[in-house]
Chain A
């Protein structure tokens, strides 16, 4: 079975500061991992995904995430926050061995940006 835990339901950073959103996963098989972003009143948009290639994954809007198997983590980072980054962010996991397995989402982290 797969699961994800997002540490911190709300994170607030200043504009220009480092963004760090934490995600830990649990999976009995090698996982595929995802970060999605959700802007107010919109659906989810894929930021980046890890599918067992490079452990450092670069996504859209300057975000990146590093897969650390030893720590079972897939934290999302961005060097310099922008006001437009304010949104809800979801980490998600899927088993890699079965194409029929579902994606399991975390409970989300709301990112606020202070001017």
Chain B
């Protein structure tokens, strides 16, 4: 069974530029999560999708971050414009349903904003 795929693995941009990350969850997983992991901290949930609907985006900085999962499968997270403090690893995870506690994580995208 293929795991959660993410791309790119690394990205370096300058502040005020825009960037997008892509995630393809495990086949058949209805729930998809985006986390932000700042160096030295645990992951923080940014947004949770159930199929193509948003369940929780309470910690998503909506003035600069956006995410979509139009067909209920893969998802894109965008930052526009980026700030220095957005430097982090962005992790995507999926689970069979939101009632299933086990989340499967992708390898993450490491973003550096200069």
Stretch binding the partner chain, chosen from A39-47, A61-69, A70-78: A39-47
* 43-67 of chain B: CB within 8 A of chain A: 43-45, 48, 55-56
* Residue in chain A with minimal CB distance to B40: A107
**What DSSP secondary structure best describes chain A's contact surface?**
loop
Q: Which residues from B are CB-within-8-Å of A102?
A: 45, 48, 56
* Residue in chain B with minimal CB distance to A101: B56
- Tell me whether B102 and A44 are in contact (CB under 8 A): no
Tell me whether B93 is interfacial, beta carbon within 8 Å: yes
Residue tally, chain A, CB below 8 Å to B: 22
**Smallest distance from the beta carbon of B29 to chain A beta carbons, Å?**
14
**Smallest distance from the beta carbon of B94 to chain A beta carbons, Å?**
11
Q: Which residues from A are CB-within-8-Å of B45?
A: 102-103
- Tell me whether A43 and B93 are in contact (CB under 8 A): yes
Q: Which residues from A are CB-within-8-Å of B25?
A: none
Residue tally, chain B, CB below 8 Å to A: 21
Q: Which residues from B are CB-within-8-Å of A9?
A: 40
- Tell me whether A49 and B40 are in contact (CB under 8 A): no
Stretch binding the partner chain, chosen from A14-22, A79-87, A92-100: A92-100
Tell me whether A105 is interfacial, beta carbon within 8 Å: yes
- Tell me whether A43 and B106 are in contact (CB under 8 A): yes
The answer, among B42, B48, B106, for a CB contact under 8 Å with A90, is: B42
**Smallest distance from the beta carbon of A54 to chain B beta carbons, Å?**
15
B-contacting residues of A (Cβ < 8 Å)? 9, 32, 34, 41-46, 49, 51, 90, 92, 94, 99-100, 102-103, 105-108
- Which 10 A-B pairs have CB atoms at the shortest separation, nearest pair first? A43-B105, A105-B42, A44-B105, A99-B99, A102-B45, A43-B106, A105-B43, A43-B107, A90-B42, A99-B98
